[in-house]
C-alpha cells in the first residue's frame, strides 16, 4: 500500500465511539453526537454501550480491538476507569472522575470535561458574571466536584459550599482547599448577600425529585443563578431568579458543552453547540 492509499484508507475508515454506563438507557449523549455526526457528514457512529462493572477492565483493554476511538463514561464507571487508562489528565485527577476517554500516541487518556462544560456555558450565558465575588454552591456530589474545580480555576475568591449531608461538603473543603467555606444547609440564605453567583448542583428541583426550597431574595441585584438541573429547563430556582430580574443559566448547556471536547478528540472536528441542538434535546425531554 502506498502512503497515499494508506491515508485514503484512514480517511474512509469509519470512526466509532460511544458512552458506557450501567445502566445506560437514559443517556442523551447519542442524540448530541449523532446530530454532530450528521451535521458534519462524518462516517462514524456513537452508541450507548451497557458495560457491567465486572466487565469494565476487559472492555477498556479491548477498545482498539473493538474498533472504538474513545468513549464517554458515566455512572458507575467514572472513578474506576482511572485504573485502566495509561494517563489521567490534571482536570480528571482534581475532579476525581473521568467522563471522556481518547487515544493520543497510542496511549489511552482519561479526562474530565464536566468542569469545562459548566464554565463555558456560564461564560456564554452570563457575560455580566462578576468573577471577583464569592459563589454559593448547593450540593457536594459528583457534579459539585467538577463545578468547584472549574470555579477555582477561574479565580473566584471564595466558595460557600452547603450540603444536606454536611460531612460531604467538609470532605470537599479539605480536598479543594481554603477558599471553600462550608455553610450549614439550614443557614444557606444567610450567606447569599455578597455572592455574585449561586449554583444548584443538587438533584433538587428535577422532575420526580423534591423541590429546592430556597429564598434567594438576599442575593445582590447583579447576581447570576445557575441551575444544573435541565429537566425541567426552567426550574423554580430560575423562575424565582427571573422574578427578581437576576441573570439565569440553565443546565442544558453544561450537558451540551461537555460533549464538545470528546467529539473533537474522536472525530477530528470541533462541533458547535447551536439552538438546533438544544431543541433536539428539549424535544426528547418533552
Q: Judge whether 78 counts as a catalytic residue.
A: yes
Is the preceding omega at residue 133 within 30 degrees of 0, hence cis?
no
Provide the 10 A C-beta neighbour count for residue 256.
Answer: 23
Minimal distance in Å, beta carbon 103 to ligand ATR? 27
Please state the closest distance from residue 20 (CB atom) to ligand ATR, in A: 17
For ligand ATR, which stretch binds (CB under 6 A), given 47-55, 66-74, 135-143, 237-245? 135-143
State yes or no: residue 140 binds ligand ATR (CB under 6 A): yes
The correct pick among 62, 66, 165, 207 for binding ligand ATR (CB under 6 A) is 165
Work out whether strand 107-111 and strand 100-104 pair parallel, antiparallel, or are unpaired.
antiparallel
- Counting residues that bind ligand ATR (by CB under 6 A) gives 15
Q: Based on the shown chain and the rule CB under 6 A, indicate whether residue 202 belongs to the binding site for ligand ATR.
A: yes
- Contact pick of 142, 218, 233, 264 for ligand ATR (by CB under 6 A): 142
Asked whether position 68 contacts ligand ATR by CB under 6 A, the answer is no
The residue among 136 and 143 lying less far from ligand ATR, judged by its C-beta, is 143
Using the contact rule CB under 6 A, the part of the chain among 38-46, 112-120, 142-150, 262-270 near ligand ATR is 142-150
Residue 110 phi, psi (nearest 5): -110, 120
- Using CB under 6 A as the binding rule, whether residue 203 contacts ligand ATR is answered as yes
Determine the interface stretch with ligand ATR among 113-121, 150-158, 161-169, 250-258 (rule: CB under 6 A). 161-169
- Any contact of residue 168 with ligand ATR (CB under 6 A)? yes
87/277 Cα distance (integer angstroms): 32
Residue 268: CB minimum distance to ligand ATR, A: 30
In the shown chain, the binding pattern of residues 204 to 223 toward ligand ATR, with x for contact by CB under 6 A and - for none, equals x-----x-------------
Catalytic residue among 14, 48, 64, 78: 78
Binding stretches for ligand ATR (CB under 6 A): 139-144, 163-165, 168, 201-204, 210
Which amino acids are annotated catalytic? 78
Amino acid at each position: 500500500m502506498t502512503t497515499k492509499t494508506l491515508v485514503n484508507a484512514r480517511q474512509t475508515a469509519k470512526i466509532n465511539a460511544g458512552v458506557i454506563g450501567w445502566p445506560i438507557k437514559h443517556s442523551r449523549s447519542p442524540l448530541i453526537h449523532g446530530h454532530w455526526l450528521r451535521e458534519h457528514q462524518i462516517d462514524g457512529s456513537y452508541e450507548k454501550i451497557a458495560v457491567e462493572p465486572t466487565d469494565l477492565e476487559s472492555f477498556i483493554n479491548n477498545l482498539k480491538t473493538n474498533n472504538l476511538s474513545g468513549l464517554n463514561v458515566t455512572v458507575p464507571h467514572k472513578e474506576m476507569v482511572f485504573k485502566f487508562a495509561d494517563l489521567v489528565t490534571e482536570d480528571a485527577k482534581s475532579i476525581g472522575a473521568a467522563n471522556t476517554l481518547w487515544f493520543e500516541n497510542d496511549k489511552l487518556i482519561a479526562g474530565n470535561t464536566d468542569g469545562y462544560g459548566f464554565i463555558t456555558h456560564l461564560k456564554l450565558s452570563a457575560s455580566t458574571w462578576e468573577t471577583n465575588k464569592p459563589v454559593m454552591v448547593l450540593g457536594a456530589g459528583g457534579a459539585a466536584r467538577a463545578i468547584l474545580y472549574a470555579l477555582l480555576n477561574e479565580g473566584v475568591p471564595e466558595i460557600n459550599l452547603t450540603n444536606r449531608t454536611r460531612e460531604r461538603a467538609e470532605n470537599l473543603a479539605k480536598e479543594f482547599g481554603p477558599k471553600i467555606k462550608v455553610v450549614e444547609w439550614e443557614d444557606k440564605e444567610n450567606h447569599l448577600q455578597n455572592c455574585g453567583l449561586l449554583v444548584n448542583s443538587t438533584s433538587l428541583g428535577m422532575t420526580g425529585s423534591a423541590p429546592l426550597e430556597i429564598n434567594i431574595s438576599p442575593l445582590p441585584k447583579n447576581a447570576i443563578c445557575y441551575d444544573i438541573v435541565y429537566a425541567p429547563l426552567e426550574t423554580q430556582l430560575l423562575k424565582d431568579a427571573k422574578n427578581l430580574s437576576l441573570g439565569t443559566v440553565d443546565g442544558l448547556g453544561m450537558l451540551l458543552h461537555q460533549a464538545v471536547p470528546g467529539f473533537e478528540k474522536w472525530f477530528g472536528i470541533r462541533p458547535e453547540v447551536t439552538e438546533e441542538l438544544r431543541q433536539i434535546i428539549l424535544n426528547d425531554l418533552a
